[in-house]
Structure 1
């Protein structure tokens, strides 16, 4: 299995403050499913921002899709971002657009015509169980429905890497299971998945998933060395 992401002694600070992340050194394999866990304030969201290119590291090296990001001009970054899907914790749907148009947005940004988007968007809304809500705008949708629209938007362009920040944090347990099922289905189609979560029951419900734990800006495990331990070991 090849590598899709490589972090080599990466650090991140905002402004002149202390480092939020330090000495991150890991590899993500193509087609794998990863959970990122840790206490509030540990650095999960900051790490995800590095993965989906919302932030550049203060130091260290990141390779993405076999390319060293430090060697890429800023104008090349949109091309990388189009290969990454992001599910935000706060959804970030556009309130005046319908569910259909929110999902279609990444395709329009990539230059697809109305005719080219119609079929894929209808299919994606059916996949997340929202065919009958395609014309609804986000303020009229429940939290679970908004999350499913956000998932459909994130995966409509068939990203190679999907990054999700607490995707089940605003829904009930049944909806959380459905969202996890949808992410698992996407992973089986070949997309690499990284999910930040506080809920270890989700981890336990995903056989074969890898676990990364972050604390105080550093990736750790019970032995003090970065690795991906079995789920049973983490929950014991």
Structure 2
């Protein structure tokens, strides 16, 4: 896989195993292109969560090559990985909100880590909480939020800093259909601003909510390409500007 392919993320013949068990991912090769929107699908146990762990750098592969933002991640020392992670927004299935922080402070965290002045933090966080319907819960701690409210707070935190790559694991699993559609529109808006979006889902109805999205399908740890998501160059009508 060439360095000048134009991809923001590249996997080449990647395999992943935990301990001495058999591989949970095998021979994974694909390129994610800037400004594209991808759905990652597959049955339970197909390897979606393991794939996402590789994408948000929580796991190193057992073999193969991964490049991200033009850099070979396999040769990077662990001390350099936080710099890469700050360019990736992540929505975890288990939310991972910081329990002693309010909803406002959880969402504000990426902006504060990036060094934004405190005077500039309030408006974007207030606007984001309003967008996800949590403006009336901004002072609440995660333990007092419902599952759906925690999910929306986690999504707001993931997108607040406009990451270059957004990785979301079942992001609409704990919200009603109307809020699910609203959240997908939020992802689309971020995508139109240039963020490469990867949404893992088993909800086939969700796949029809984003026009021109690309689908990558995992089956028993191997990747198929039903909509041309892996081809180079990608279909021009499927690439967001």
Instruction: Tell which deviates more after alignment, 129-138 or 164-173.
Output: 129-138
SS at match of 2:20: coil
CA contact (8 A) 1:13 1:21 kept: yes
The 1-side partners of 2:189 and 2:130 are apart by 14
Match in the other structure for 1:167: 171
Match in the other structure for 2:207: 203
Match in the other structure for 2:239: none
* Change in CA separation of 1:4 and 1:222 when aligned onto 2, cut-off 3 Å: closer
CA contact (8 A) 1:124 1:152 kept: yes
How many equivalent residue pairs?
229
The 2-side partners of 1:70 and 1:138 are apart by 35
SS at match of 1:177: helix
Match in the other structure for 1:54: 58
- Structure 2: state its 5+ residue gaps: 236-241
Structure 1 position 227, deviation (Å): 5.8
Match in the other structure for 1:84: 88
Structure 1 position 65, deviation (Å): 0.6
Given the alignment, which residue of 212, 217, 234 partners 1:213? 217
The 1-side partners of 2:148 and 2:174 are apart by 7
Match in the other structure for 1:142: 146
Query: In the alignment, is residue 103 of structure 1 matched against residue 107 of structure 2?
Result: yes
Match in the other structure for 1:37: 41
Q: Deviations over 1:180-214 (max 9, x none)?
A: 11111111111110000001111012111000000
SS at match of 1:100: helix
SS at match of 1:71: coil
Query: In the alignment, is residue 72 of structure 1 matched against residue 76 of structure 2?
Result: yes
Instruction: Give the TM-score taking structure 2 as reference length.
Output: 0.88
Structure 1 position 71, deviation (Å): 2.4
Structure 1 position 28, deviation (Å): 0.6
The 1-side partners of 2:133 and 2:194 are apart by 21
The 2-side partners of 1:226 and 1:188 are apart by 20
CA contact (8 A) 1:212 1:227 kept: no
Match in the other structure for 1:234: none
Instruction: Give the TM-score taking structure 1 as reference length.
Output: 0.90
Match in the other structure for 2:130: 126
Query: In the alignment, is residue 26 of structure 1 matched against residue 24 of structure 2?
Result: no
The 1-side partners of 2:86 and 2:26 are apart by 27
The 1-side partners of 2:64 and 2:103 are apart by 39
- Structure 1: state its 5+ residue gaps: 231-236
